[in-house]
Structure 1
């Protein structure tokens, strides 16, 4: 029960890593403001009383002010922010449209910036030693062909995390990120064809694709007091994907 009496805001909370993170924090005692475009799934009976669903498009210009107003009106403090919401648009680099670029940047980068700013203001005003966790991707450091806007935003998110960490450290607020690898979510399932899955399993040293709960466990750690001396860091949760330089099916002799 690391989060008893804590208030957490989790974006992208209707599915995937966001849902798994919200449930993990709830089951460890938190009250969770669950943010998503719309809420389509019921919450488990054992935690539903501490869920506060909030329909919000994180990319909307009014999202951050709306969230800030809601938190100020309903709660006395905010302890945790998990920025999990994210989108992916698949297209070859030469065919990426301005509309797709703008939408991916708005959700994955701009939305994170301004929602974090809104929540951090409240943390600073109340003297809360808050925990902010951003969700990056292994493709911040490993190329992903046909996903240039996505990889650009995840690389930018990691750089932004370090700067936020530097500026908020004097207030006792930590800012970290997790860097998931292949994970089964509503976003990834359409592109995980049998061929893609077989290729991923051959590439990943631990040989499997993660359920979102494995990533949520890392987010919960960075959001907890156990990570009080960690800030500006990025934790790989990728089965070894990013670090592995081996040649599948071959070896030096």
Structure 2
């Protein structure tokens, strides 16, 4: 129970990697705030699994009698600030922020619209920036250390044709993390990135159902398989714990060796 007595806010935790992180942190003893924007049924599933794991869970926008309800679109600065504020009001504190929420848009660079660019950058970079700011303000006011873990991507380093806005957002998160590691260290706040490669999540459903593309991708992964959400969640739990107190400003790739072996087909 590495996180007993801690409160963790996990953005975008109604499915996939975010859901796995919420469950893992609960297993380690943390109380967990679940956030979602458009998948209430997934958030209900996360709630049940977190409760089964032994944590107390407060679910955004859920009518459950034991749930704490908050509307939170991480692309909207007012929503994300309210999410952090309401989480603090309910628990009295937040110790761990996992910036997991993210979106991507697929289009050739010359066809990317301003609306799609704004949607991606608002959630993936602006949302991370201002959710982290709200968290840091809280920790400064209460004079406590804290942990911030960003779910980045191998595409903070690896080019991804037709996903220019997504790559730009993740590259921004990489540099933001490095900069804040220096700025926040005197406050006892650490910040790190976890950068998944190809993970079996709902966002990859189309790929998982295409044997030819899936086979080609596996050939690029030295370990020969896609990752599981739990592979990411276990590392997040470590970084959120006291065992990682001397680690900050780093990116940890969870990709089966993909980054250093990838060749565009």
TM-score category, normalised to shorter length = over 0.9
Does the 8 A contact of 1:33 with 1:52 survive in 2?
A: yes
Residue in structure 1 matched with residue 91 of structure 2 by the alignment? 75
Residue in structure 2 matched with residue 238 of structure 1 by the alignment? 255
Q: Which aligned pairs between 1:187-206 and structure 2 lie closer than 5 A?
A: 187-192=203-208, 193-206=210-223
Displacement of 1:125: 1.5
Out of 183, 194, 215, the residue aligned to residue 232 of structure 2 is 215
Q: Which has the higher helix share?
A: 2
- 1:8–1:83 CA distance, 2 compared to 1 (3 A): same
- 1:218–1:183 CA distance, 2 compared to 1 (3 A): same
Does the 8 A contact of 2:9 with 2:97 survive in 1?
A: yes
Q: Does 1:52 align with 2:53?
A: no
Residue in structure 2 matched with residue 21 of structure 1 by the alignment? 21
Does the 8 A contact of 1:83 with 1:135 survive in 2?
A: yes
Stretches of structure 2 that go unaligned for 5 or more consecutive residues are: 61-70
Residue in structure 2 matched with residue 108 of structure 1 by the alignment? 124
- Following the alignment from structure 1 to structure 2, what is the Cα–Cα distance between the partners of residues 196 and 90? 16
Does the 8 A contact of 2:7 with 2:30 survive in 1?
A: yes
Does the 8 A contact of 1:161 with 1:176 survive in 2?
A: yes
- Following the alignment from structure 2 to structure 1, what is the Cα–Cα distance between the partners of residues 223 and 84? 41
Displacement of 1:163: 1.1
| Aligned-residue CA RMSD (Å) | 1.8
Q: TM-score, normalised by structure 1?
A: 0.93
Q: What SS does the aligned partner of 2:77 have?
A: coil
Does the 8 A contact of 1:78 with 1:128 survive in 2?
A: no
- Following the alignment from structure 2 to structure 1, what is the Cα–Cα distance between the partners of residues 212 and 162? 17
4+ long deviations beyond 3 Å: 245-248
Out of 137, 144, 152, the residue aligned to residue 128 of structure 1 is 144
Q: TM-score, normalised by structure 2?
A: 0.89
Residue in structure 2 matched with residue 94 of structure 1 by the alignment? 110
Residue in structure 2 matched with residue 7 of structure 1 by the alignment? 7
- 1:247–1:156 CA distance, 2 compared to 1 (3 A): closer
- Following the alignment from structure 1 to structure 2, what is the Cα–Cα distance between the partners of residues 111 and 191? 27
After superposition, give the CA deviation of every residue in 1:17-41 in whole Å (9 maximum; x if it has no partner): 1000000001111100111104313
Residue in structure 2 matched with residue 251 of structure 1 by the alignment? none
Displacement of 1:49: 5.9
Residue in structure 2 matched with residue 142 of structure 1 by the alignment? 158
Residue in structure 2 matched with residue 40 of structure 1 by the alignment? 41
Q: Does 1:228 align with 2:245?
A: yes
Aligned residue pairs total 248
After superposition, give the CA deviation of every residue in 1:18-76 in whole Å (9 maximum; x if it has no partner): 00000000111110011110431322251476111124101113123312331332122
Does the 8 A contact of 2:194 with 2:236 survive in 1?
A: yes
Displacement of 1:127: 2.1
Stretches of structure 1 that go unaligned for 5 or more consecutive residues are: 249-253
